[in-house]
Amino acid sequence: MFYVSKLAWMMLQPSNFIAILLVLGIGLLVLQRRAVALRLIVAATFFYVLAAFSPLANWLLHPLEHEVKGGTERDVAGAAGIIVLGGGVSGAIPTEGGAIPLGPSVERVTETLRLALRHPDLPVIFSGGSGLILQLGDTPNEADAAQRFFEGFGVVTPRLRLEDRSRNTLENAELSAAMLQPKPDQRWILVTSAFHMRRAAALFEAQGFRVVPWPVGYLTSGHGDLQQPFGRASEGLHRIDIATKEWLGIFVSWARGDFAPVERAGNRVEASRVSGS
């Protein structure tokens, strides 16, 4: 399923899909299939303008980021630990210089570090291996970089625990549950990007965690974002890719039955609400 989902996403990712339509249209134009070629080129142009410049991406992102209410500092006190999902650091650790490459969702590790320093009694669990389809040689994964990052600020083992085999969010939840064996009376702070929290929290709840969501790195704010077009095509395409991936992930997880089937008393995140059912 991991490999199928990765390959399917390469084709369905909006920015790639638009490029595929355009290349097919140009190819058919070269082959003198003008009618079909023009339809494909017009379709690619329409989808490009819609995805790159219209506020469509923000319309899709806003409910993802603002449906699940985040926790407060009062929720952190007495929690069983802080779980942070990969994405904040890069697995491509340089061999020279010692700098730790940060990932596109750097707020995940920086906010976790803030919480860890503020609450020195809480364990910190990093969950993330490598999501690459093909790995050549002994390629470092995200957990390796995360270990170096946290240890640089004094968060070390045994307080720091690493789950380094997960390749996607479902495996984050399953392997973290196998490692931590969560109990019904425990609260776990879950740190991930705001757009990712809806799906991540539901998957962790299904594995027995009582989750306190701690979303970071918001891409949308007020309703004004729903009316504001993008000034840069790259920003619109980037956001439409993120939003499409999350909504597809929610649908696939719901269809596969990966979300918790019933709401458990005391849980902050209701599976039925998170899954959209």
Domain extent for 158: 69-216+264-274
Q: What's phi and psi for 133, nearest 5 deg?
A: -70, -40
Return the structure tokens found at 223. 């309703």
The reply to whether 154 falls in a domain is yes
Q: Number of structural domains, the chain? A: 2
CB 212 within 8 A of CB 69: no
CB 128 within 8 A of CB 142: yes
pTM: 0.87
User: Are residues 201 and 75 part of one domain?
Assistant: yes
Residue with tokens 């142009």: 45
Per-residue DSSP letter, 262: S
User: Measured between alpha carbons, how far is 226 from 57 in angstroms, rounded to an integer?
Assistant: 9
The reply to whether 78 falls in a domain is yes
| Sheet bearing 124-127, strands edge to edge | 160-163, 124-127, 81-85, 188-193, 211-216
User: Are residues 94 and 36 part of one domain?
Assistant: no
Say what the pLDDT of residue 138 is. 60
Higher-scoring residue by pLDDT: 3, 225: 225
Radius of gyration of the chain (CA): 20
| Residue range 38-45: mean pLDDT, rounded | 95
**pLDDT for residue 73 is more than 70:** yes
User: Are residues 47 and 162 part of one domain?
Assistant: no
User: Measured between alpha carbons, how far is 108 from 130 in angstroms, rounded to an integer?
Assistant: 16
User: Are residues 163 and 139 part of one domain?
Assistant: yes
